[in-house]
Amino acid sequence: MKRIGLMVKKAHPQAMDAAGELQSWLTQRGFTVFIEEAKIISSPSCEGASSVPKDVDLVVVLGGDGTLLYAARTLGRNGVPLLGVNMGGLGFLTETSLKNMHRNLERVLAGDFTAEPRMTLSVIVERAGETITQETVLNDAVINKGALARILDLKVSIDDMELTTYRADGLIISTPTGSTAYNLSAGGPIVHPSQELIILSPICPFTLTNRPLILSERSVVKVEVAPGASDVLLTADGQVSWALEPGDMVIVSRAANAINLITNPYKNYFEILRTKLGWG
């Protein structure tokens, strides 16, 4: 490894201080370092918009899960491994603590690490048969109503076979990595992030028998916005959103590229789960 990118939470003094200290630490060891402040709420299709070059050997993320999701969108699809350093919030993706940052990083720089591939989803919006936008998500794609909209009718099919029409506040289409994000808050299942599958979780469904559903990673999910709907949004990873119109089709399937997240060698997934969720 020769070239290291630092993705830092914007306007976070502790993260900026840590980035400055880490830059000096790496530079003294002969590494070339690039720093960027992450723009958590960003424009669609921001891949390649990062000031950190695509050909870096490693990206260290200093912030929370939102910062890491931004790094994944802008750089992670190039295959570069991401090391997440948690700066204090509830984070499932940023596994390394600031206290253990140097210890973990020394192992990574020596080549002693495991990068776990995380499945991503391709999200396409079609309007009148034309593709109007496309995005890749690590966590989830969410279709929901604006503040003043009524309950939504969303017609869902799986592999061109009709599933149901959800009457709900919205629908979450999630990866296993995203199962501990909005999906968890909506009552969806926790899925080990190494799994490869797709989760559908309706948000506050009108029909109580509409329950979360786990699908094969090979499934293609199509969601049609019903006629008469208004103020409907599609949000990718909580960072980019588009306004949907009646008749729009949202098509979600497994994306070609995975995101490589460096695991914490001192904590396993279940220990992280117990700590984050307060499970005794």
The C-alpha angle 154, 156, 160, rounded to 5 degrees, equals 150
Start-to-end C-alpha separation, the chain: 40
Lowest-pLDDT range, 34-48, 192-206, 213-227? 34-48
Euclidean distance between CA atoms 133 and 156, whole angstroms:
19
How many angstroms from the chain centroid is the CA of residue 147? 24
On the question of pLDDT at 3 being above 70, the answer is yes
Query: Taking residues 18-29, what's their average pLDDT?
Result: 95
Enumerate long-range contacts of 71-74, CB under 8 Å, 24 or more apart.
71/7, 71/38, 72/120, 72/138, 72/237, 72/259, 73/42, 73/46, 73/47, 73/136, 73/138, 73/237, 73/239, 74/46, 74/47, 74/48, 74/49, 74/50
pLDDT tens for each residue of 131-185: 999 999 999 999 998 776 678 999 999 999 999 999 999 999 999 999 999 999 9
Residues annotated catalytic, as ranges: 65
On the question of pLDDT at 199 being above 90, the answer is yes
Euclidean distance between CA atoms 116 and 131, whole angstroms:
32
7, exposed or middle or buried, with CB in 10 Å at 0-12, 13-18, 19+? buried
Domains and CATH numbers, the chain: 3-118+258-277 (3.40.50.10330), 121-254 (2.60.200.30)
Query: Taking residues 186-209, what's their average pLDDT?
Result: 95
How many angstroms from the chain centroid is the CA of residue 101? 22
